[in-house]
């Protein structure tokens, strides 16, 4: 049922997570024999990161179609939050490991792909709020019968 707000939030979360596959997470400059070389940290270069992003994309997309089972929908959304937090932690570990490279990077910065999981978390939290409102409305309607 696409008319519900939480369905739109979950679809937006799935789309944002899908965009992570195509964007850089981190870029840094390295000096090789006096030349400045630009490197990118991508999800597709690291299999565990790729696997987490695929799960992060699939969970909200599947959760949209569980609109009759609100309790399960909330649980799937919470699982999606955990997977997204795990991806953020893995990304931070990978970026911090760049500091121990030889030679160390000259400079680096986070890119758009690193902000998208946080945006996805916000969308999933908004979806959970909407699911709980629906659940409360259905329970109040049951009391009236």
Q: What is the DSSP string of 112-136?
A: HHHHHHHHHHHHHHHHHHHHHHHHH
* pLDDT, position 1: 41
Is residue 134 predicted with pLDDT exceeding 80?
yes
Mean pLDDT of the chain: 88
Name 137's Cβ contacts closer than 8 Å, sequence gap at least 6: none
For residue 78, what is the enclosing H or E element?
Answer: helix 70-97
pLDDT range class, residue 144, cuts 50, 70, 90: low
* pLDDT, position 2: 45
* pLDDT, position 92: 92
* pLDDT, position 89: 95
Residue 144 lies in a domain: no
Residues 105-112 have a mean pLDDT of 81
For residue 48, what is the enclosing H or E element?
Answer: helix 47-63
Residue 143 lies in a domain: no
Residue 65 lies in a domain: yes
Residue 96 lies in a domain: yes
Residue 145 lies in a domain: no
Residues 57-81 have a mean pLDDT of 92
Residue 39 lies in a domain: yes
pLDDT range class, residue 9, cuts 50, 70, 90: very high
CATH, residue 129:
1.20.140.150
Q: How many domains does the chain have?
A: 1
* Domain encompassing residue 72: 5-137
- Which range, 64-73, 78-87, 89-98, 101-110, is most confident? 78-87
* pLDDT, position 137: 84
Residue 114 lies in a domain: yes
* Per-residue pLDDT tens over the stretch 115-128: 999 999 999 999 99
Residues 82-98 have a mean pLDDT of 92
């Amino acid at each position: 049922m696409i008319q519900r707000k939480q369905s739109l939030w979950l679809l937006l979360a799935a789309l944002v997570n899908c965009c992570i596959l195509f964007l850089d997470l981190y870029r840094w400059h390295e000096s090789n024999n006096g030349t400045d070389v630009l490197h990118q940290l991508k999800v597709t270069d690291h299999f565990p990161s790729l696997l987490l992003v695929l799960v992060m994309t699939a969970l909200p997309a599947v959760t949209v179609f569980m609109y009759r089972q609100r309790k399960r929908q909330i649980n799937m959304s919470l699982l999606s939050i955990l997977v997204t937090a795990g991806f953020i932690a893995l990304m931070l570990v990978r970026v911090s490991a760049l500091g121990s490279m030889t030679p160390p990077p000259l400079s680096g910065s986070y890119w758009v792909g690193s902000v998208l999981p946080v945006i996805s978390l916000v969308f999933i939290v908004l979806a959970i709020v909407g699911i709980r409102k629906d659940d409360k409305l259905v329970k109040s309607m049951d009391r009236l019968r």
